Structure 1
């Protein structure tokens, strides 16, 4: 007798897709398969992650001690351009994208995670869905869930017009450095603190996160920073064109940042940032992500569903991108509770799930735009 209530094909193998897979398989007993388009080790595009209740909740339910995957901070420090600092006590836990990714991936059956599968077609049927990939493979399932991020191909196929991501007017430059690779005085100035600097048209923040192997002991952690600054639309193409000549849409890797762009970023840092941040940028292997907006989407398309950034984005200042995806996954599992392939889809519960999740998404997205505007970031 088949004890599996339904099969789910999850498009996108980042942390949102993994959270969805775990929620459906462990809470509902569903058979899940995750399809990720990239090959090899996935890059830590988000770098630092602020620990939020939705993430903490899932980690605890799968028996992972949150403190074991986080670096604890004691205070927040605001800098002026001359380096003057103002501090206040503010305990907080910080983790990293790759730390979360490894923790969740280890929980999933290796056979359920498939790479080098780029989605090209979806055939939605009354009793299921067939996903086809660029390598010629296909997969059938009872539902397909798009968790493939800002530039979601699943969203394109489900919505028709794709609701393309829109550039917001500023770029996030990032660094993620082993603390032992940086000068000791620099690490000492940044340890135990969420350090930030804001000036009209730019904002920079920094905190320590677990090491590349997940270590949280002093000496084995990493210094994570992000620097947002306005970049006109007509300059974005030059910024996102690598030294190789390749054009990048949403992530410029450190290995392909052109010499001219790197020099420009370093020169801007020297002119505008507090001394500790000038030195940090100079000592880092920088990479970049343009900040993009996707308006809130309808989430339910018969047997096709959207979660995380595929369903709509929030600005990074909210520190809610990861937690939003985890919340989508948790409440989707609740909406599908007691459903099996032998029954009609629970359309009323799915509609309620979509309504409530989009209500929260819209509120958080609006808050993120207000936070950006307060720093004069973006259009």
Structure 2
């Protein structure tokens, strides 16, 4: 088939590689004139890694991923360790390590394996027109492209989603702002091979190891939406929000590069169950935009990509049958991930003070089993189990 993918993010590129492996003619159309990563890094849990293994990228992703061997929660104000444990039992249970990865590194890897020659930049889609045997995509520059199938991997602001559902869907503000970026690993901030999260006051400061001796960091602060976003004030703002926190958090704030730090107001979208219409199908954030609170956004996009490619390959009752199978396989799982992330978001960011304080106290008794089972429940049920 001749397949057009709109959006050159993680989901679109993964789908493109998988579909090419099955012999399809694939072109990716990207609205920006330069492909830049959205966010500093991604928590690539074992299910996402398995998707890349399936594409033959096992060694490449190992080289890009950080050595995350343990997990810890630390009281952000007094620096007391609440719980700390090895992730080895989790990895053995699911059969694959997790690899936090810098987004730029992962995006470059996927682009090279897909083939940059088949990515057209500066192609902002403005219209979709379906015909009996093909779909026509119209672009802002006046050009158009025909395909047998259009895959909308165009993110949380998806125009493809509006076409499939027949109406626009409003994003829901999750109630917090996230600052994220990369810093050099410093054992004074956290152990080099550990995912360390400082928590307190409904706020969160997290450090995860990625390749090339770097930590991926993020700060979460419950705030109203629409506040001023001045890059040269990031350190000042973070010092204010975390003024009474422990020394490693203060040092992290000093270490960040404001010019390379991202600030994001976190949103999700109410889950819906319709993922396709005619010859147009949704994938990734276009189909199930979620908060990052369980680290499954990118992984679910990759799962979509693998399952869609396989559905098109192994089912022989036509395009609609394959798309329907993809939809019915993915919509329940992704709905559950969106709602789990939303629930975790509310507890972490103190939507209900009592529930959050109870969670804080429970961490002092946590031996790792409960947290790991929660992560495992997100990983299992992927298309490669």
TM-score range, shorter chain: 0.7 to 0.9
The whole-number CA distance in structure 1 between the counterparts of 2:191 and 2:137 is 47
- Assess, with a 3 A threshold, how the Cα gap between structure 1 residues 107 and 275 changes in structure 2: closer, same or farther: same
Aligned to 2:109: 103
Aligned to 1:90: 87
Q: Shift of the alpha carbon at 1:95?
A: 1.9
Q: Shift of the alpha carbon at 1:141?
A: 0.5
- Could you give the per-residue CA deviations for residues 52-109 of structure 1, whole angstroms, max 9, x where no partner exists? 2233332353243142221112221221121122422224532222222111111112
RMSD: 2.2
Q: Is 1:39–2:33 an aligned residue pair?
A: yes
The whole-number CA distance in structure 2 between the counterparts of 1:274 and 1:351 is 52
Aligned to 1:275: 247
The whole-number CA distance in structure 2 between the counterparts of 1:14 and 1:63 is 17
Aligned to 1:351: 324
Q: Is 1:308–2:284 an aligned residue pair?
A: yes
Which is further off, 55-64 or 134-143?
A: 55-64
Q: Which consecutive unaligned segments of at least 5 residues does structure 2 have?
A: 89-97, 353-385
Aligned to 1:118: 124
- Assess, with a 3 A threshold, how the Cα gap between structure 1 residues 313 and 377 changes in structure 2: closer, same or farther: farther
**253, 278, 303: which one aligns with 1:327:** 303
**264, 282, 293: which one aligns with 2:268:** 293
Q: Shift of the alpha carbon at 1:322?
A: 1.1
TM-score with structure 1 length normalisation? 0.82
Q: Shift of the alpha carbon at 1:198?
A: 2.1
Matched-pair contact (CA < 8 Å) for 2:308–2:326? yes
Aligned to 1:253: none
The whole-number CA distance in structure 2 between the counterparts of 1:113 and 1:377 is 43
- Aligned residue pairs total 336
SS in 1 for 2:293: helix
Q: Shift of the alpha carbon at 1:143?
A: 0.8
- Assess, with a 3 A threshold, how the Cα gap between structure 1 residues 338 and 57 changes in structure 2: closer, same or farther: closer
Matched-pair contact (CA < 8 Å) for 1:156–1:163? yes
Aligned to 2:4: 9
**120, 125, 135: which one aligns with 1:129:** 135
The whole-number CA distance in structure 2 between the counterparts of 1:265 and 1:177 is 16
The whole-number CA distance in structure 1 between the counterparts of 2:288 and 2:54 is 27
The whole-number CA distance in structure 2 between the counterparts of 1:41 and 1:300 is 26
Aligned to 1:221: 213
